[in-house]
Amino acid sequence: MSKSFTLAEQVVAAIRTVVGAGPVRLHEPSFIGNEWLYLKECLDSTFVSSVGKFVDRFEVELATFTGAKHAVAVVNGTAALHIALKLAGVKAGDEVLIPALTFVATANAVTYCDATPHLIDCEARTLGVDAEKLRDYLIDHTEQRAGQCVNRVTGRVIRALVPMHTFGHPVELDELLAVVHDFNLALVEDAAESLGSYYHGQHTGTFGLMGTLSFNGNKTITTGGGGAILTNDINLARHAKHLTTTAKMQHAWEYRHDEVGYNYRMPNLNAALGCAQLEQLPMMLDSKRELFKRYQSAFAPVRGAKLMVEPEQCQSNYWLQTLLLDADQVKQRDLVLETTNDAGFMTRPAWVLMQVLTPFKGCPRMDLAGAQSLSQRLINIPSSSGLVPVVS
């Protein structure tokens, strides 16, 4: 591509090469399987709500797909995180380590437990928590007291670590597992974006005490709104189901609840959609990988930006295809965003970092140079599985 083209023009041309003329949305769902059939079946049964076979089936099939022993379907990924954090023992006054670069739900869920997000830097290789920097930071800033990791500055217990698999790319789990082991932290994986992503052959969300998924409309598969908690611990799974269904004790007619619970169950109507979507997931993942390959070719000659590639020994679901601008191209970001969107190709930057948001300005944090650099350079480009023919 000629040097006379701006980066923005090159990006538009590369996207157009792959997806054709616009307008093209960033990510839209694809309903080409049994979605229609199962929704009708659900409606005909009249069981659209808290009772019905699709919720049970969706949970079993999610567990099967991810390899988790148990899955609990809930109303969205935020609710899943809230309950997972509670069950990980996060209490009022605790701190929870989360990446500075994440969707706000990760931080919000911590506050729902009356705990404080403690912001961790991210690395360019995975876009997630920088394990090495985290270890050094914890060595310098925490101490163990009675088997708990205490923040020396605030005096508060750091209870858990919540890495997030950004845009589907797995974080460095081996190193993070070592960190949580060495510092007595619970590991809860925010796998909202990484259904179908694997770290060393094992599905993301199944490494920690619990993992959480999201089936929002912009995710790889959708239930309209929905999420799930994954765990290998039967007691945690039972407790999660109990807490997410108002903590009602089983009885033919009595309404007795033994703790403060939540109305977080996934309605059967949404689970019906989920069952149909799960059947399509392998094909969607193939399509998204094929889309990545086509983008890879199209962006190879582009100077000033690189397409994000899955980390080594990992398999990304390539939920959102991502450009990382070179450091000297930071000032071009907004022009690239404007030009692509004007051309009908929906693109967007990474989320505003957590420490920049009003509610989280005062949160404890380490040096966040890595996340800051990434947040200025990341651009998501159209990523729907429907953009390339489904490989059957």
* Binding site residues, its own copies, CB under 8 A: 28-31, 35-36, 39-40, 43-44, 46-51, 75-79, 103-105, 108, 111, 114, 216-218, 222, 224-225, 246-248, 252-263, 265-270, 273, 337, 341, 347-349, 351-352, 356-359
> In this complex, which beta carbon is closest to its own copies, that of residue 115 or of residue 134?
115
- Strand, coil or helix: 386: helix
Spatial distance between the Cα atoms of 125 and 166, rounded to a whole number of angstroms: 11
What lies within 8 Å, CB to CB, of 184 at 6+ separation is 144, 147, 148, 149
> In this complex, which beta carbon is closest to its own copies, that of residue 109 or of residue 158?
109
Least distance (Å) between residue 228 CB and its own copies: 14
Please, are residues 233 and 259 in contact by the beta-carbon 8 Å criterion?
no
Least distance (Å) between residue 391 CB and its own copies: 21
> In this complex, which beta carbon is closest to its own copies, that of residue 137 or of residue 360?
360
Q: Is the peptide bond before 117 cis (omega within 30 degrees of 0)?
A: no
Least distance (Å) between residue 314 CB and its own copies: 25
What lies within 8 Å, CB to CB, of 181 at 6+ separation is none
> In this complex, which beta carbon is closest to its own copies, that of residue 44 or of residue 312?
44
Pick the closest to residue 150 from 364, 362, 353 (CA basis). 364
DSSP letter string over 48-72? -SSS-HHHHHHHHHHHHHH--SEEE
Spatial distance between the Cα atoms of 40 and 45, rounded to a whole number of angstroms: 8
Which CA distances in Å does 20 have to 2, 14, 300?
21, 10, 18
Least distance (Å) between residue 42 CB and its own copies: 9
DSSP letter string over 160-176? EE--B-GGG----HHHH
Least distance (Å) between residue 238 CB and its own copies: 17
> In this complex, which beta carbon is closest to its own copies, that of residue 105 or of residue 150?
105
Spatial distance between the Cα atoms of 382 and 371, rounded to a whole number of angstroms: 23
Least distance (Å) between residue 388 CB and its own copies: 17
Least distance (Å) between residue 370 CB and its own copies: 19
> In this complex, which beta carbon is closest to its own copies, that of residue 178 or of residue 249?
249
> In this complex, which beta carbon is closest to its own copies, that of residue 35 or of residue 189?
35
